[in-house]
Amino acid sequence: MHICTVTPISMTVGANRIVPAIAIPHPLGNPALKKDEEKALRRKIVMKALEALTTEVDGQTIFED
Amino acid sequence: MPLRKKAIKNNAAGMRGAVAKMAPLALKLGKGEPVGASAEEGYMPNGIRVNFFEKKRGSARAVDMLLKKLAGKPFETEYPMPNFDRVAPNPAVKDLAHAKIALVTSGGIVPKGNPDHIESSSASHYGEYDITGVTDLTEDTYETAHGGYDPVYANQDADRVLPIDVLRDMEKEGVIGELHHLFYTTVGNGTAVASAKAFAAEIGRKLKADGVDAVILTST
């Protein structure tokens, strides 16, 4: 599956399971947060990715919050 | 500029029409005279690029094209988009707790020093790196080679692009069966679609051979 900031690009190139990321320079992070908060955020995104991988889809699907 | 072409039959009856087009072209080539674009001269496009100056400037041509598009009129693009294929979605992973998950990234995360010199733009190759025993990416051990985004945050903590730290936790907790000991990386910045496709085919073959059940691809 694809964790990607600009999800329309992911759609255009044909990814079937897509999870939106935070920002281009830090898709799975946020430097404004404290280290432990940032890691919790990263874990949340990866958990969403695992949810996408374990969900049946019949076409391109974006797994938003 | 769309040309009015009379359809030539694709059989012996169309020979006269075909020769009428081919003969002048053959004469030009024979005489060493300059030959125009395929659309003008009627030959099959051969992908050879010739630089020339347009009569109208680019901004004017772009506006003309947009006006046609907005009016629903036909227009001809000056730059065709690459053809992106589609694949059927894989079935969902059935048993995540015993699944082998691999990480791949287009965000250019590489060991510090970029030992394989992956280019910051128009990558010519991808990297394969062993993360056996690696539980966290740090400023001293990893960096980004990608030249298309501000590298500060990824250089401080490459987990922000390649989330090894949280996947290691999940592996320890039994959320996933295993984090594959290799990750694959390239730089997506300005990389040719054909190159990316070739990298993916090779990486995909290796992942399958290594019994990987699912891939998380991260992009910036």
pLDDT (tens digit, 0 to 9) for every residue of chain A, 65 residues total?
999 999 999 999 999 999 999 999 999 999 999 999 999 999 999 999 999 999 999 999 999 98
Task: Give me the mean pLDDT over the B51-69 stretch.
Answer: 94
List, for residues B79-122, the tens digit of each pLDDT value. Answer: 888 888 899 999 999 999 999 999 999 999 999 999 999 999 99
Q: Quick one: pLDDT at residue B17?
A: 87
Which chain A residues touch B if contact means CB-CB below 8 Å?
Answer: 1-5, 9-10, 12-17, 21, 24-29, 31, 38-39, 42-43, 45-46, 49-50, 53-61
Q: Report chain A residues whose CB lies below 8 A from the CB of B149.
A: 24-25
Q: Quick one: what percent of chain B has pLDDT higher than 90?
A: 76
List the one residue out of B162, B208, B209 whose CA is nearest residue B183: B162
Spatial distance between the Cα atoms of B85 and B100, rounded to a whole number of angstroms: 27
Q: What per-residue confidence (pLDDT) applies to B81?
A: 81
What is the separation of C-alpha B97 from the centre of its chain, rounded to a whole number of angstroms?
33
pLDDT at B46 (0 to 100): 87
Contacting residues of B for A10, CB less than 8 Å apart: 219
Q: For all residues of chain B together, what is the average pLDDT?
A: 93
Q: Which residue of chain B comes nearest to A23, CA vs CA?
A: B220
Domain boundaries, chain A: 2-62
pLDDT band at residue B47 under the 50/70/90 scheme:
confident
Asked whether the predicted pLDDT for residue B1 surpasses 70, the reply is no
Q: What is the DSSP letter of B120?
A: S
Give the separation between CA B73 and CA B165, rounded to whole angstroms: 53
Token couple for B29: 């080539």
The DSSP line for B162-176 is S-HHHHHHHHHHTSS
3-state DSSP call for residue B40?
A: helix
Select from B108, B111, B171, B119 the least CA-distant residue to B137. Answer: B111
Of chain A, the percentage scoring pLDDT greater than 90 comes to 98
**Tokens linked to B147:** 């030249």
Q: For residues B153-164, give the mean pLDDT.
A: 98
Q: Report the pLDDT averaged over residues B132-147.
A: 97
* CA separation for the pair B101, B104 (Å, rounded): 10
pLDDT in tens, B172-220: 999 999 999 999 999 999 999 999 999 999 999 999 999 999 999 999 9
Q: How far is B38 from chain A (nearest CA, A)?
A: 30
- What pTM was estimated for this model as a whole? 0.79
CA distance A65 to chain B (A): 17
At B5, is the pLDDT very low, low, confident or very high (cuts 50, 70, 90)? low
- Whether residue B199 contacts residue B126, with contact meaning beta carbons closer than 8 Å, is answered with yes
Q: How confident is the model at residue B68 (pLDDT cuts 50, 70, 90)?
A: very high
Residue B21, pLDDT > 90, answer: no
Query: Do A2 and B219 count as a contact with CB atoms less than 8 A apart?
Result: yes
Tokens representing residue B33 in the block: 């005279």
Going by DSSP bridges, is the β-strand pair A2-4/B127-130 parallel, antiparallel, or unpaired? unpaired
